[in-house]
Each structure stands twice: as structure tokens, then as C-alpha cells.
Amino acid sequence: MENNNKVYKIKDLKDFSKYERFYDREDLMLFNSYQIGQPEEEESEIGIMSNIYSGCKIPFMGHIFHSAEQLLFWLNIKRWANMLGYKKVEIDFREYIVLNCKDGFDVKNNPLSHQFFEDIEAKKRKLLGDEKYFQDDWNVLFFCAKLKFIYTPELRELCKKYENKIWAENSFWGDYNCGVIYDKTIKKYRGINMLGRCYRYIWNHQDEIMREAKNLSLLT
């Protein structure tokens, strides 16, 4: 799944360079949404870590979310659209679109959900400033990843299988924040790798997280 034909300039990381990490290929278990449909069993299995993976049933606030991506989009709309001045009728319509998307790819690619999400993100960043915006993104991503971990046994099994590897989303499309990209100039992967690091933190604290879930009756 590597894409070694591009040399990336890390201009988007200039404000967050302190969060950037560098990884050697042999240390990594790389995952992303493009691996979900791969015919090889291992490649398809690795795709479970992607936010796009739609084999989930995540109950939250009266809804069942089939992917972390759907939950992430819905949460950002729910939390920010009203504060940013969008009209209720538009917010309700966009929530309806997100909740009725068929899978994670549909949430990401549907212009009625994706463009609205991007507009909210841009306004949120302008309102909060780079650092607070970045930390809000981390908090939402972590929350979605944690709920996915709690309710998705196959994700927990995958984490166990690859617990001795470093986990990183192979974002060869250039998302340095959520994942990593391959930089030919240094022959390493680099990026903030938020999603991989969320999962590692959750895995390292899994006993506490699962115990809390049971105490809150999130699991039966």
C-alpha cells in the first residue's frame, strides 16, 4: 500500500512540528481505508483500523453508528454548527444526511455531508486558532476511536495481533495530521499520526477503558 512516487513537503505541519514523528518501515503496521476491500485476508483485516471501516455498531445518543467516520462527522456538526451560526433547518438536514449514509465511504464522499463538514472545520479553526483547533480534533478523534474500540471486538483482536508494531495510518493522499506519509528524501514515514497514536493510548489503557465501559453499562 505504499506510494513512493511522491516527495511531500510538510508545509501543513509548520504549526504542529512538535507533534510530528518519524518511522522506519519495518517498525510499522500500516493501515488505511483502501485496504478494507483487498482480497488478501491480512490486508482486509488491517483495514478495520480505518475510520471508514463500516462493520461497527456504535450506540451513542440514541443512534447506531456504523463507522467512526460517521460518528466523527455527526459529532462535529452537533457540537459546532449551532455555535458557528448555521440555521437549525440546515443543521437538521445535514445531520439527517450523515445519519443515513450507507457506510464510511459514503459519509466521506457525499458532498452534502463532506462539504458541510469541511466548512465547519475551516470556521472552527479560524475561531479557535491552530493549536486549540488541533487539540479539539485530537479529543474528538480519540473519543470516536475509544467508542469504536469498546464496541468492536474485531478491532480489539487486531490490536492484540499487532501489539508489538507501531500503528500508523498510511495517508498517501497527504494527510499528515491523522496519519503518516512516505518521504522519499529521508526514506521514512513522517506525520503526526493522530489515529495510530489514539489507538495505542487506548490499547495501553484498555483494562481501565473496558472496566469503565462496564461500570457505565455500555457493555452487557
pTM equals 0.87
The pLDDT of residue 48 is 93
Of the pLDDT bands very low, low, confident and very high (cuts 50, 70, 90), residue 8 is very low
Q: What is the mean pLDDT of the chain?
A: 87
Residue 13 has pLDDT above 80, yes or no: no
Tell me, rounded to whole angstroms, the distance of Cα 190 from its chain centroid: 17
Least confident of 6-10, 76-80, 100-104: 6-10
Of the pLDDT bands very low, low, confident and very high (cuts 50, 70, 90), residue 163 is very high
Return the HEC string of 143-194: HHHHHHHHHCHHHHHHHHHCCCCEEEEECCCCCCCCCEEEECCCCEEEECCH
Residue 101 has pLDDT above 80, yes or no: yes
Residue 60 has pLDDT above 50, yes or no: yes
The pLDDT of residue 195 is 95
For 81-98, what is each residue's pLDDT tens digit? 999 999 999 999 999 999
For 107-131, what is each residue's pLDDT tens digit? 999 999 999 999 999 999 999 988 8
**Average pLDDT for residues 155-161, to the nearest whole number?**
95
- Domains in the chain, CATH or no CATH each: 11-215 (1.10.357)
Residue 11's Cβ-side half-sphere holds a number of Cα atoms within 13 Å equal to 3
Question: Residue 61: left if φ>0, alpha if ψ -120 to 50, beta else—which one?
Answer: left
Residue 141 has pLDDT above 80, yes or no: yes
State the pairing for strand pair 28-31/166-169: parallel
Least confident of 10-14, 103-107, 154-158, 180-184: 10-14
Please answer whether residues 170 and 2 qualify as being in contact, where contact means their C-beta atoms are separated by less than 8 angstroms.
yes
Residue 196 has pLDDT above 70, yes or no: yes
Of the pLDDT bands very low, low, confident and very high (cuts 50, 70, 90), residue 65 is very high
How far is residue 126's CA from residue 118's CA, in Å, rounded to a whole number? 12
Residue 4 has pLDDT above 80, yes or no: no
Nearest to 112 by CA among 126, 139, 93: 93
Residue 164 has pLDDT above 70, yes or no: yes
Instruction: Find where cell 476511536 sits.
Output: 145
Nearest to 194 by CA among 51, 26, 6: 51
